[in-house]
Chains A and B, each alone.
Chain A
Amino acid sequence: MSEIVTTTAAERPRSLGADAWDVMRRRPLFWVAAVLVVLFVAMAIAPELFTTKDPRSCDLAFSRQLPSAGAIFGYDFQGCDIFARTVYGARASILVGIFTALAAALLGGLLGTLAGYLGGAVDAVLSRIADIFFSIPLLLGAIVVGSVVPLSPNSPLWRCVIQIVLVLVLFGWPNTFRLMRGSVMQVKPNEYVQAARALGANPFRVTTSHIVPNALTPLIVVSTIDLGSYIATEATLSFLGVGLPGTIVSWGRDISAASGIGYIRNAPHMLLFPAAALCLTVLAFIILGEVVRDALDPKLR
């Protein structure tokens, strides 16, 4: 009479997260991306661990010297050690990337949930506001704000990072907003949401413990991928001179300084190393995002 229990003792009850982890750790790409991310985050937290040289104490005597045993990445125009500058430059990029991605996910996620769940007038108003910001390209908007409110060279790092994060979030949130709104609208008509209401959950409870956990996956994935593009955007802004000021060591600034006329031919190493660091970081986060997406999406398995 009794029904057959589908799970055997060997097959332990497992969560979505545990399942995803299992899929991810079998992918070599995941490990490549993870190692790179850990490496760059470590550089951002403690650059002293990677180099003993000061990126700001430079000697013009070494100007544009090629890589050698003493300086494996060589020296830039000012005679600064490029390896040290590349290591120290990670901090600004990673800070901007992580905080922008987090803030955009929070803001867009929150407003998207509201719009998707409440619908009607709230949705209409929020969506139109998002459309306005969406119609302005991220880079163009950031350039305009950056040139109207330029950062003073004396500003401390955190002040610069906050301003750039705010500008990027301002033009980046419609992306996460739209994603979350659609995702919530997709989850909302599910029967378990109705069942939760039938069993006495209030709207707040329905949203926080039934809708959001089920609608969150795309947001996590896209935010990870976006993180890389925010880092690239920050570098672009610094390259154009409307991002971080020159007093702060950043990859964008160094790439900009290395792209002067004649430099690319005579001293390609000045461009190569900061650009490679930037590419690798962006690539690592994007790969990580894709691997997470594959792991969380049962249809792709």
Chain B
Amino acid sequence: MTTISENQPPFEHLLDVRDLHVEFRMRAGVAKAINGVSFHLDERETLAILGESGSGKSVTAQAIMGILDSPPGYITGGQVLFQGADMLKMKPKARAAMRGPKISMIFQDALSALNPVFPVGWQIAEMFRIHRDMNRTDAMAQAIRLMERVRIPGAKERYKAYPHQFSGGMRQRIMIAMAIALDPWILIADEPTTALDVTVQAQIMDLLKELQEEFGMGLILITHDLGVVANVADRIAVMYAGRLMETAPVGALYANPRHPYTIGLLESVPRLDSKLGETLPAIGGLPPNLLRMPAGCPFNPRCRFAIDKCREGVPPDLTDLADSVPRRAACWRVEDPAVTAEARIAVGGDQS
């Protein structure tokens, strides 16, 4: 459709999130959900944000989109630069105008993300009618084209079908069609395949990848599934307790995780070559309560490498690592030989 590149720098990245802070003010206290998250996204790039439930992945996405429910959620600091302009400083109206044509989003469960009382075609066509002032007939024709593009069989006949009449995968396709309707520059996919079974997951990821190449979108893929990320992402940002623990190109991260949390995550992936009856390693303990963060590094209570320095003072910042590729990690002991040795064991020890 449209080509993306008429808007060239002054800006450095398409999306640049700097030191984002989000907190939830509740009766029980203030939960610091995001504590200084920084990352960037370029055109045609796929960034995966990986983390377990409650790590702040979805809240990050909501903060970028500007759909954080407030109260209780408040963005207390940082910048979200879209093509160099800080979206957090924009008026709500200008912000709302960006949702759809500039940044768009798809959700985990397409059944609950689609309005149950309207036909799916109508819902897609609505995007064109609101944002492009199209008349009914044109919007309908566009919607059907889009439904065909995301490979809904019999798109024309199914224009008038309701969300509950589709299978999970088809619903997610509808959701994708709505999200890309206005050629967004950035698409945020919040766990797009979590509610789907494995074969359909692969189809949806393929479709997303294909559409990303066609439209030249930047894609932020939020997931807790290490398998989904591996084939699709260019870079990975690992998130824990509202902080980024490690960012790296996908190959480097899988081959050689550096942060103890990432090491733990990769160790806990079931492997074909593990012996029968062998216990799958898991990271002990639970993610910290956001209302009562531990002092020091938030991962320290679960970290087998933790030293006194990790248990006090301020948590370590993301720092550049010495490697052949640009990568960063937030750990005091990341360059410590004891940790780096474990990292190799974690991925199979074939390199040592």
List residues of chain A with CB under 8 Å of any chain B CB: 1-7, 11, 13-16, 190-192, 194-202, 205, 209-210, 213-214
Contacts and interface: CB of A to CB of B under 8 A. Distances in A.
A205 B118 CA distance: 14
A213 B116 CA distance: 9
A301 to B, nearest CB: 14
Contacts of A209: 115, 118, 126
8 contacts: A15-B162, A194-B113, A197-B67, A198-B104, A199-B99, A199-B100, A199-B104, A200-B130
A235 to B, nearest CB: 37
B167 A5 contact: yes
Contact of A195 (B101, B107, B118, B130): B107
B200 A3 contact: yes
B152 to A, nearest CB: 9
3 A-B pairs with least C-beta separation: A200-B100, A13-B161, A200-B99
Contacts of A191: 107-109, 112-113
B81 interface: no
Nearest to B102: A200
A213 B105 CA distance: 23
B101 A213 contact: no
Best-surrounded residue of A5, A13, A192, A199 (most CB of chain B within 10 A): A199
A199 B170 CA distance: 19
A213 B200 CA distance: 31
B96 A213 contact: no
Contacts of A190: 112
A164 to B, nearest CB: 35
Nearest to B165: A7
Contacts of B67: 194, 197-198
Contact of B169 (A3, A16, A201): A3
Contacts of B160: 13
B207 to A, nearest CB: 11
A200 B126 contact: no
Contacts of A7: 158, 161, 165-166
B153 A213 contact: no
Nearest to A13: B161
A61 B152 CA distance: 80
A13 B162 contact: yes
A2 B126 CA distance: 27
A21 to B, nearest CB: 15
Nearest to A196: B115
Which one of A195, A201, A205 has the greatest number of beta carbons of chain B within 10 Å?
A195
A74 B107 CA distance: 69
A192 B99 contact: no
Given A191-B109, A192-B113, A201-B130, A213 B97 contact: no
Given A192-B113, A198-B67, 19 more contacts: A3-B200, A5-B154, A6-B165, A6-B166, A14-B162, A16-B162, A191-B107, A191-B113, A195-B107, A195-B113, A199-B99, A199-B100, A199-B105, A200-B130, A200-B182, A205-B130, A209-B126, A213-B115, A213-B118
B236 interface: no
Contacts of B170: 3, 5-6
A120 to B, nearest CB: 8
B114 A213 contact: no
Nearest to B99: A200
Interface in B142-167: 151, 153-154, 157-158, 160-162, 165-167
Interface in B166-210: 166-167, 169-170, 175, 178-179, 182, 200, 203
A197 to B, nearest CB: 5
A163 to B, nearest CB: 37
A39 to B, nearest CB: 32
Contacts of B166: 6-7
B272 interface: no
Interface in B85-124: 93, 96-101, 104-105, 107-109, 112-119
Contacts of A192: 112-116
B219 interface: no
B266 interface: no
B229 interface: no
Contacts of A202: 93, 96
A26 B203 CA distance: 42
Contacts of B178: 195, 199
A55 to B, nearest CB: 46
Contacts of B97: 200
B154 A16 contact: no
A15 B159 CA distance: 12
B124 to A, nearest CB: 10
Contact of B179 (A1, A14, A197, A199): A199
A123 to B, nearest CB: 13
Given A198-B104, A200-B130, A16 B161 contact: no
Nearest to B109: A191
B131 interface: yes
B233 interface: no
Given A5-B153, A15-B162, A16-B117, A199 B127 contact: yes
B68 to A, nearest CB: 10
Contacts of B117: 16, 213-214
Contacts of B161: 7, 13
Contacts of B127: 199-200
A205 B89 CA distance: 23
Contacts of B41: none
Contact of A13 (B115, B158, B169, B179): B158
Contact of B101 (A194, A200, A201, A214): A200
